[in-house]
Structure 1
Amino acid sequence: MIRFPPALSSGSPAPLGAHWNGMGVNFAVFSANAQQVDVCIFDPRDRREIRRYRLPEYTNEIWHGYLPDAEPGLLYGYRAFGPYDPANGHRFNPHKLLLDPYARGLSGPLSWSDTQFGYRLHSPRADLSFDRRDSAPAMPRCVVVHDAYEWEDDTLPRVPWEQTVIMEAHVRGLTMQREMDHARPGTFQALCAPPMVAHLKRLGITTIELLPIQCFLPERHLLERGLTNYWGYNTLAFFVPHAGYLASGSPHELRAAIRRLHKAGIEVVMDVVYNHTCEGSELGPTLCYRGLDNATYYRLVPGNERHLINDTGCGNTLNLSHPRVLQMVLDSLRYWAENYHIDGFRFDLATVLAREPYGFDQGSGFLDAVIQDPVLSTRKLIAEPWDPGPGGYQFGNFPPGFAEWNDRFRDTTRRFWRGDGLQHGDMAARIAGSGDLLDRRGRRPWSSINILTTHDGFTLADLVSYATRHNDANGEDGQDGAPENYSANWGVEGATTDPVILKLRGRIRRAMMATLMFSHGTPMLLAGDAFGQTQHGNNNAYCQDNATTWLDWGLAATAAGRSMTGFVARLVALRGRHASLRAARYMHGRHRPMPDLPDISWFCPDGSLIGAAQWGDAGFHFLGVRRACTDEDGTVDMTYTVLNAHAEDVAATLPAPLGKWALQLDTTRPEQPEMTLEHGARDIIVPAHGLLLFAAVAGGEDA
């Protein structure tokens, strides 16, 4: 039983957060502008406040104090005193219980209440008014956590980038509708259950990228409409796993899941949101950062500090130009890397993180700090290279060490297979790893994360079934989500039983998936695309925590689902077999693995090299690409990929092989086995809306 002293001792300004040292708990919290910070201690049984202490010391803008005899499990929160002066960016209100930015655990849910706002919500003076009601009854409590966990022999798989195949998935959506023995659906338990691991291994997935799993908060206006923030891009606590994904409430469930996935050779990448918080605009609630130091944690409009800069489209923007805010983000990243053995991070709206007051900077404090960090620099680092702010599109401009989501690959692949004009030139550049945009400063093709579909947009099945978005269920008059998806319904909007349309849709899906897997760069597929998951035309299902977004594993059990799953697994296996399909270096046609054999060449149907006339022909929807490189064993691996986006079959001639050509894959006949052509045979028919893959095999004299 803790014996509460009359006051805290001075303690230490480091480390930040509430840390147990075996004899008590040290509290340290940053605020450059607070005049006083109190720590409130709560009874674990009835959650009432039982002690309140003033943090006695202030060192280098860190408030700190030490509570002897306190142990892990202690519940606490902060109250910050200072000016309530919105015009100058200050919004201190000691009536509001504040979460610790470094809290490693939370107890209880946040229940939305008017008391959580620092101002009177319905006052005519809006946020210039002041609310004196206590918000504690509606707030969670922070928990002092001791992170001890027995990892035993766990090691990071460290899959080389050239061999990486990523699946983007939502913990809840992936597992809600699948039996997982004794694992609770929708949780980390189900994520690592044997059936799920077997599915990932069957497909050849090396890396699973999880939508946000840090503690996030559904927006109040969504809950009032019967919706929720399903995706999770609304972070409340940067060091805490989301409680909704924990079956028992213990964070060790996440550690156990990661350990089991690692044992299967599968990496875990976190999608992290450090560009904004769940506190929203200046009219949002006071839950943590705003109440501790609004003027420091957030970017404010110069000359009008009452308002927050909104480069994120979410109401606020974290101020990573300040060293303490930057430190919080880096400490959070290292915490997940070291305490949860996370293999990498995908940075949501990464342009925000690299934006200084004057704009995006390749040498920003955040990028420099991550690249040189001895822990973080060894993890997979993936940037979403755009945001809604000024100059927000920065694809290709992140520094070496970062990979980038490639929306150019996504849009070009969709448009090429839809039959849009003048796409074949750009398609060629995307197949070659987007070296035209990324090949600089020693970057490698893996820097391009080739995406075809992601959580944000249509699924692959919907991409060939809907010409327009169908988002009425979101309650925004169908106006949310991207209006242009470069999709086509191929005859009927939505579901159909017409066998002709279904056959054509299947062809397009397989051709696009093969393009993804046979392009240089790092392929990322969306969970469910391997068996035909649909969201019924919703291309912005961020608020749909229901059957719209939960994977329908019944589809995977159908004949069509099993066929598509087997097809995707075959694509991944072929990619792994052929070094020329996953090149470690950019190919520009200048290097020759053998005399008179450029590493990459582009061909017309008649077997001649594509010239200026063909590159500029809007009616040209054909590409033949021969790629050759030296494999790990020193042999030359040569493949020829043929893409025909025409609505008719095309007669074509293969370039001369090394030995014989073997047909490895025909996307229009997915069940057809591999077949070696007769020696010297080069004339083929490329089916409409089809992709063929050939590989050179030994046999006879070189043609």
Structure 2
Amino acid sequence: MIAAPVLGATPSDSGVSFAVRAATPVWLCLWDGASERRVAMRDAGEGVWTATVAGIGLGQPYGYRAEADMAKLLVDPYATALDRPFAYDPRLGAPGVETGSLVPWSIVAEAPDILPPPPIFAPGGLIYEVNVRGFTMLHPEVPAAQRGTIAALAHPAVIAHLQRLRVAAIELMPIVAWIDERHLPPLGLRNVWGYNPVVPMAIDPRLAPGGIAELTATVATLRAAGIGVILDLVFNHNGESDRDGPTLSLRGLDEALYFAHGEDGTLINDSGTGNTLDCAQPAVRALILASLRHFARAGVDGFRFDLAPVLARGPGFDPQAPIFAEIAADPLLATRVMIAEPWDIGPGGYQLGRFPQNWLEWNDRYRDDLRRFWRGDGAAGALATRIAGSADVFGAGATRSVNFVAAHDGFTLADTVAYAERHNHANGEDNRDGHGDNHSWNNGVEGETDDAAVLARRDADRRALLTLLFASRGTILLTAGDAFARTQRGNNNAYAQDNAIGWVDWTTRDTALEAFVAALAAFRAAHGLDRVAPYPAADWRRLDGEPMRDGDWDGADGFVLRLPDGDAAVTLRVDRRTRRVALCHGQSLENRS
């Protein structure tokens, strides 16, 4: 039996073999720095086209052109390196218009070929969500030339910050090469979050000038410091958008294969971005699995999947979808941590609690119930359920909940208690974008203020929410900067703010709050609160000390939770009337300054 060609570019001593999947005949395009040479590819069957070229090797720029539109230079979906970032241009979406000077060249590159060690991150630990560029652009101790790159995350000052907070793993927002949405350039804006990727394996050159080797080295340095790395990956769509979007890769090769379509031939938009990858197609899943293996070989601990229900759509969500079994059956991927963002905007898109039992899931109900209770319009019983691991969602055993009060998508923690409404005017969409209902509050003054009483209430609220988070059962997540009151000035959708709004300001950070979070992290570790198993003999009481009965939860302004801890007990006292949350084991950690 003849083995199927290995997709992508495979170098050898004698040259490079290329293989790509496409619906029509394909030409391999080779760039020598001055001109383009085209090589007709051979039909290898089952939609795969191949070519082997002698005399070339690592570093060779290449691309493809498909008979469907020979004017469009196409990036290899299996490319692991690009010569430059993507840049939007209207000509990219115009049929028949030449784009050879506009599209990055794929680069023949070596891939990590090592057996990585097992993950060091374990459920129950603290995940620290990081936007690679924004996290270090203003860091005074990181060399200017290194700011905004993956390598900057290995700087001793950054590692010291992460260790102080006892971060178990940093979760990197998307690092693969992305393109700006077409409405951004006319506004003078650009996407900085990266949730608009084109191909799934090539790291954006702006974030990693050293490519996959830079990621591998950074992961190793962080691992030596006891910190794992999780990658946030986007497999629900690609940056070629809707019918008017650019032709860059998948669209030009075989749109019918890669993108999901309705019965009338229109593009399905379960991602809200113009197209949706069709994960019911084995070829699409093969591309996803190849990407996961590529990054797992770089040593990362695991993956967080953006709009994860798309992975299991065919077209409806199926909790037994093939991709789950394929990941579980892969010897390398089965050892990695998998985290789902368990919602998309398609029919039946909210799937919290329905992913595989060994997957973790972002729990937005945790966020909302904590905010509602502390704002004053939520129930104590709902808060207690979330703190105890959301058994109503994940069952009575070990919880799979990833608990968070704030994340990249929405208000920062500081803005949650300072803005009752979003303030996204800088995004150029008349303040219509982003979440409209954030369950937030402003403590009497919207936004910035010099009122000492208002500032004190906001500080107390931040500390209360953080205490509840660190006392909760399950994995917990903080977004970078929330430990020291980072603000986005009320912008709750700062994806296009590659500027001071979206960058972490290290010079004005609240060091007292940062020290408080470090103390919470130490307390959580010392007293076994970083558990996913059920609480042992949890004792729930009313604020007056009497045992909590079922009927007492309605209308309660708080509660006391006591957990045995050796010869003593950990006590969490939550009192909305006095705006206090105390976490005690002999000495109290309170939300008051």
Structure-1-length-normalised TM-score: 0.81
Say whether the 8 Å CA contact 1:435–1:586 is kept in structure 2.
no
Kindly provide the amino acid, as one letter, of the partner of residue 309 in structure 1.
I
Say whether the 8 Å CA contact 1:173–1:186 is kept in structure 2.
yes
* Structure 2 residue aligned with 1:436: 392
Instruction: Report whether the alignment pairs 1:37 with 2:23.
Output: no
* Structure 2 residue aligned with 1:367: 324
* Structure 1 residue aligned with 2:435: 482
Kindly provide the amino acid, as one letter, of the partner of residue 105 in structure 1.
A
1:112 & 1:488 partners in 2: Cα distance? Answer: 38
1:411 & 1:418 partners in 2: Cα distance? Answer: 10
Say whether the 8 Å CA contact 2:119–2:300 is kept in structure 1.
no
* Structure 2 residue aligned with 1:258: 219
Describe how 1:35-74 pairs up with structure 2 within 5 A. 36-43=25-32, 45-46=33-34, 48-49=35-36, 51-74=37-60
Instruction: Report whether the alignment pairs 1:143 with 2:66.
Output: no
- CA pair 148-493 structure 1, distance change in 2 beyond 3 A: closer
- CA pair 317-432 structure 1, distance change in 2 beyond 3 A: same
Instruction: Report whether the alignment pairs 1:159 with 2:135.
Output: no
Instruction: Report whether the alignment pairs 1:567 with 2:505.
Output: no
1:108 & 1:243 partners in 2: Cα distance? Answer: 6
SS of the residue 2:495 aligns to: coil
Relative contact order higher in (CA < 8 Å, ≥ 6 apart): 2
1:329 & 1:111 partners in 2: Cα distance? Answer: 24
Deviation track 1:8-67 (CA, whole Å, cap 9, x = no partner) reads xxx974211011022111111112x32x11111111x33x20x21111232232111211
SS of the residue 2:146 aligns to: coil
* Structure 1 residue aligned with 2:10: 19
Kindly provide the amino acid, as one letter, of the partner of residue 477 in structure 1.
D
Instruction: Report whether the alignment pairs 1:530 with 2:483.
Output: yes
- CA pair 107-13 structure 1, distance change in 2 beyond 3 A: farther
- CA pair 368-177 structure 1, distance change in 2 beyond 3 A: same
Say whether the 8 Å CA contact 1:154–1:263 is kept in structure 2.
no
2:102 & 2:579 partners in 1: Cα distance? Answer: 64
Kindly provide the amino acid, as one letter, of the partner of residue 56 in structure 2.
A
- Out of 577, 582, 586, the position equivalent to 2:526 is 577
2:554 & 2:358 partners in 1: Cα distance? Answer: 35
SS of the residue 1:324 aligns to: helix
* Structure 2 residue aligned with 1:404: 361
Say whether the 8 Å CA contact 1:432–1:519 is kept in structure 2.
yes
* Structure 1 residue aligned with 2:463: 510
Say whether the 8 Å CA contact 1:98–1:288 is kept in structure 2.
yes
Deviation track 1:192-212 (CA, whole Å, cap 9, x = no partner) reads 111000000111111100110
* Structure 2 residue aligned with 1:331: 290
- Out of 67, 71, 77, the position equivalent to 1:101 is 77
- CA pair 55-165 structure 1, distance change in 2 beyond 3 A: same
* Structure 2 residue aligned with 1:696: none
% same residue = 42
2:162 & 2:308 partners in 1: Cα distance? Answer: 28
* Structure 2 residue aligned with 1:228: 190
1:250 & 1:165 partners in 2: Cα distance? Answer: 27
Instruction: Report whether the alignment pairs 1:665 with 2:591.
Output: no
The alpha-carbon deviation at position 444 of structure 1 amounts to 1.9
- Out of 318, 332, 341, the position equivalent to 1:384 is 341
* Structure 2 residue aligned with 1:596: none
* Structure 2 residue aligned with 1:453: 406
1:666 & 1:108 partners in 2: Cα distance? Answer: 49
- CA pair 241-53 structure 1, distance change in 2 beyond 3 A: same
* Structure 1 residue aligned with 2:543: 605
2:466 & 2:579 partners in 1: Cα distance? Answer: 20
- CA pair 187-649 structure 1, distance change in 2 beyond 3 A: closer
* Structure 1 residue aligned with 2:307: 349
2:518 & 2:579 partners in 1: Cα distance? Answer: 28
* Structure 2 residue aligned with 1:470: 423
Say whether the 8 Å CA contact 1:156–1:262 is kept in structure 2.
no
Say whether the 8 Å CA contact 2:417–2:443 is kept in structure 1.
yes
Kindly provide the amino acid, as one letter, of the partner of residue 362 in structure 1.
P
SS of the residue 1:482 aligns to: coil
SS of the residue 1:201 aligns to: helix
- CA pair 294-109 structure 1, distance change in 2 beyond 3 A: same
Say whether the 8 Å CA contact 1:424–1:615 is kept in structure 2.
yes
Which piece of structure 1 moves more, 166-175 or 249-258? 249-258
The alpha-carbon deviation at position 628 of structure 1 amounts to 3.2
Deviation track 1:291-336 (CA, whole Å, cap 9, x = no partner) reads 111111000111x11x200000000000111101110000111111
Which piece of structure 1 moves more, 471-480 or 103-112? 103-112
1:276 & 1:154 partners in 2: Cα distance? Answer: 28
SS of the residue 2:167 aligns to: coil
Kindly provide the amino acid, as one letter, of the partner of residue 528 in structure 1.
G
Structure-2-length-normalised TM-score: 0.95
- CA pair 365-154 structure 1, distance change in 2 beyond 3 A: closer
Describe how 1:162-201 pairs up with structure 2 within 5 A. 162=124, 164-182=125-143, 184-201=146-163
1:409 & 1:253 partners in 2: Cα distance? Answer: 36
Say whether the 8 Å CA contact 1:105–1:144 is kept in structure 2.
yes
Say whether the 8 Å CA contact 2:471–2:524 is kept in structure 1.
yes
Instruction: Report whether the alignment pairs 1:316 with 2:278.
Output: no
* Structure 2 residue aligned with 1:245: 207
1:649 & 1:324 partners in 2: Cα distance? Answer: 54
* Structure 2 residue aligned with 1:541: 494
The alpha-carbon deviation at position 132 of structure 1 amounts to 2.6
The alpha-carbon deviation at position 70 of structure 1 amounts to 1.8
- CA pair 624-319 structure 1, distance change in 2 beyond 3 A: same
SS of the residue 2:494 aligns to: coil
Kindly provide the amino acid, as one letter, of the partner of residue 65 in structure 1.
A
Unaligned runs of 5+ in 1: 1-10, 82-91, 120-130, 588-592, 594-598, 630-634, 655-660, 671-703
- CA pair 649-60 structure 1, distance change in 2 beyond 3 A: closer
* Structure 2 residue aligned with 1:551: 504
Deviation track 1:603-662 (CA, whole Å, cap 9, x = no partner) reads 112222222332222xx2111112237xxxxx5663221100114789x9x9xxxxxx84
- Out of 419, 424, 427, the position equivalent to 2:380 is 424
Kindly provide the amino acid, as one letter, of the partner of residue 666 in structure 1.
L
1:133 & 1:281 partners in 2: Cα distance? Answer: 18
Say whether the 8 Å CA contact 1:154–1:262 is kept in structure 2.
no
1:454 & 1:111 partners in 2: Cα distance? Answer: 27
1:237 & 1:546 partners in 2: Cα distance? Answer: 26
Say whether the 8 Å CA contact 1:602–1:623 is kept in structure 2.
yes
Say whether the 8 Å CA contact 2:165–2:517 is kept in structure 1.
yes
* Structure 2 residue aligned with 1:28: 19
Describe how 1:212-223 pairs up with structure 2 within 5 A. 212-223=174-185
- CA pair 465-114 structure 1, distance change in 2 beyond 3 A: closer
Instruction: Report whether the alignment pairs 1:627 with 2:563.
Output: yes
Deviation track 1:564-621 (CA, whole Å, cap 9, x = no partner) reads 1110011011110112x2334224xxxxx6xxxxx1121112222222332222xx21
1:649 & 1:257 partners in 2: Cα distance? Answer: 40
SS of the residue 1:496 aligns to: coil
